C-alpha cells in the first residue's frame, strides 16, 4: 500500500488561509460550473459563478446551492431574498474566462454582465436574467433559505419553474447529455475541466448483474 500524507484537525487549522481554502475546496472533487443570474429591487442585474448547485428532488423539481460566507456583501443572496427569483446557467468551454471573472468583488450596482461582456436574456417573463451564451438555462423560484450559523453561509432551495436547453441533447429516457453541451466542471476554486463519459449503467437491482445501457 502506498503511503499517504496525513492531515489532522490542528494541521489543517494551521494552514495559511488561502492554501487551506484551496485544499479543502479541492477535496469534494469535480463540481458543476453555473452562473447565478439575479436582479435587485430596482431591476439592476447581477451575475456570479457558483460551484455548489445540487439536485434535491424531481417531484417537485428542486435544486439547492450553498453560498459563500457573509463576510462581505453578497449581492446575489440579497437579490434572491428580495425578489424570490433567480437563474442557473451552465458554463461551457467557450465562456470560462468571463464566467470566472464574475467572482471578482464588483461594487453594488455594477453589472457583471457589462463587466464581462456576457449578455443578459429575459425569457418567459421570468424577472431574473438568464445568460444568453449558456446552452442550459434554468429558471428558479425561491422556496427556502437556511442560514448556517456555524460558518455564516446560506443554503438556498429553489423550485425549477423553467428550463431552456439546446435541442438534440435530451435522450429518449429524459437524460440530458450535458457533456454534449460542452459543459465544464470546477475543481478547487479555479481549475476548469471538460468531462469524458465512460458509460451509462442501467438501474441497479439486487437480483441482476450490472449492465450498460444501450
Using the 8-state DSSP alphabet, how is residue 122 labeled?
-
For residue range 139-195, what is the model confidence (pLDDT) as tens digits?
999 999 999 988 888 999 999 999 999 889 999 999 999 999 999 999 998 999 999
How far apart (Å, rounded) are the C-alpha atoms in residues 54 and 36? 13
pTM of structure: 0.91
Helix (H) or strand (E) holding 65: strand 61-66
Task: Note the pLDDT tens digit of each residue in 54-111.
Answer: 999 999 999 999 987 766 567 889 999 999 999 999 999 999 999 999 998 888 888 9
pLDDT tens digits for range 108-140: 888 999 999 999 999 988 999 999 999 999 999
**Residue whose C-alpha cell is 436547453:** 165
Predicted confidence at residue 73, as pLDDT, reads: 64
Amino acid at each position: 500500500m502506498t503511503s499517504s500524507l496525513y492531515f489532522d484537525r490542528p494541521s489543517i487549522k494551521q494552514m495559511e488561509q488561502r492554501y487551506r481554502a484551496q485544499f479543502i475546496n479541492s477535496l469534494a472533487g469535480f463540481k458543476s460550473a453555473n452562473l447565478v443570474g439575479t436582479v435587485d429591487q430596482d431591476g439592476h442585474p447581477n451575475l456570479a459563478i457558483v460551484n455548489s448547485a445540487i439536485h434535491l428532488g424531481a417531484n417537485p423539481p428542486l435544486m439547492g446551492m450553498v453560498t459563500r460566507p457573509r463576510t462581505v456583501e453578497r449581492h446575489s443572496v440579497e437579490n434572491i431574498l428580495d425578489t424570490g427569483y433567480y437563474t442557473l446557467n451552465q458554463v461551457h468551454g467557450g465562456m470560462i474566462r468571463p464566467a470566472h471573472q464574475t467572482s471578482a468583488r464588483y461594487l453594488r450596482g455594477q453589472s457583471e454582465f457589462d463587466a464581462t461582456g456576457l449578455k443578459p436574456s429575459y425569457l418567459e417573463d421570468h424577472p431574473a436574467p438568464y445568460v444568453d451564451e449558456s446552452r442550459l438555462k434554468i429558471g428558479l423560484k425561491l422556496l427556502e433559505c437556511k442560514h448556517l450559523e456555524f460558518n455564516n453561509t446560506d443554503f438556498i432551495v429553489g423550485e425549477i419553474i423553467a428550463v431552456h436547453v439546446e435541442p438534440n441533447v435530451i435522450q429518449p429516457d429524459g437524460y440530458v447529455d450535458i457533456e454534449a453541451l460542452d459543459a465544464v466542471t470546477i475543481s478547487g476554486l479555479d481549475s476548469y475541466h471538460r468531462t469524458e463519459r465512460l458509460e451509462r449503467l442501467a438501474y441497479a437491482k439486487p437480483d441482476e448483474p450490472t449492465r450498460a445501457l444501450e
